Amino acid sequence: MGEEGSSRALPRGPHHLARADVLASQRGRLLEAIAEVVAAKGYGAATVADVIERAGVSRKTFYEHFRDKEACFLAAYDAGVHVLMSTMRAGGEDARRRIRAYLETLAGEPAFARTFLIEIGAAGPRALARRQEVHEAFATLVGEAPDALACVGAINEVVIRLVSRGRTAELPALEDHLVSIYARLFE
């Protein structure tokens, strides 16, 4: 989701880019690649070889950035969550604007949406623990009421239904429905 460094390919041959720029580009491409590969193949079937091929980096470069596939996956998840949360916070205190930001961001990043909402469950106990932390952070963003976590869960289930059917582009059309769910839970 673009925030963790540039995803553009580096120029071929000798260049005068700073080492930090090279590393940021490589990392950004790896994060995007794992989200795309996992969305296409599923977490279990995705391999480091698939990721490095998609990212256009060497195996050595992959392991300079990440210890294994899980570490890369979790870094991509965290980077995407950061973008998503930042976008929602930019909506201010208005629930409708935050829900719209959530839906539009996911609709614009279908590979991340599938990874964030569906494939995270296949990535093992560390990923599930991270998902729980993220849901609690979303609940805090939604409100302090005890129903905030229930609201996050309800919204996720509705959104997952479209994402799992490959209809991520239709997510913005859920805005009124999700705002209604939010309002009912917080009345």
Supply the pLDDT for residue 49: 98
User: CA angle, 161 as apex, 165 and 40 as ends, to 5°?
Assistant: 40
Supply the pLDDT for residue 186: 80
Supply the pLDDT for residue 105: 96
Round the CA-based radius of gyration of the chain to a whole number and report it.
18
pTM: 0.86
All residue ranges of the chain with pLDDT < 70 are 1-17, 144-145, 187
Domain ranges of the chain: 74-185
How far is Cα of residue 143 from the mean position of the Cα atoms in its chain? 22
Among residues 71, 86, 1, the alpha carbon closest in space to that of 35 is found at 1
Do 26 and 65 form a contact (C-beta atoms < 8 A)?
A: yes
Supply the pLDDT for residue 32: 95
Each residue of 72-111: pLDDT tens digit? 999 999 999 999 999 999 988 899 999 999 999 999 999 9
SS (H, E, C) the chain: CCCCCCCCCCCCCCCCCCHHHHHHHHHHHHHHHHHHHHHHHCCCCCCHHHHHHHHCCCHHHHHHHCCCHHHHHHHHHHHHHHHHHHHHHCCCCCHHHHHHHHHHHHHHCHHHHHHHHCHHHHCCHHHHHHHHHHHHHHHHHHCCCCCHHHHHHHHHHHHHHHHHCCCHHHHHHHHHHHHHHHHHHCC
146 phi, psi to nearest 5 deg: -60, -20
Supply the pLDDT for residue 7: 47
Placement of tokens 């998840």 in the chain:
77
- Hey, CA dihedral for 28, 56, 116, 125, is it positive or negative? negative
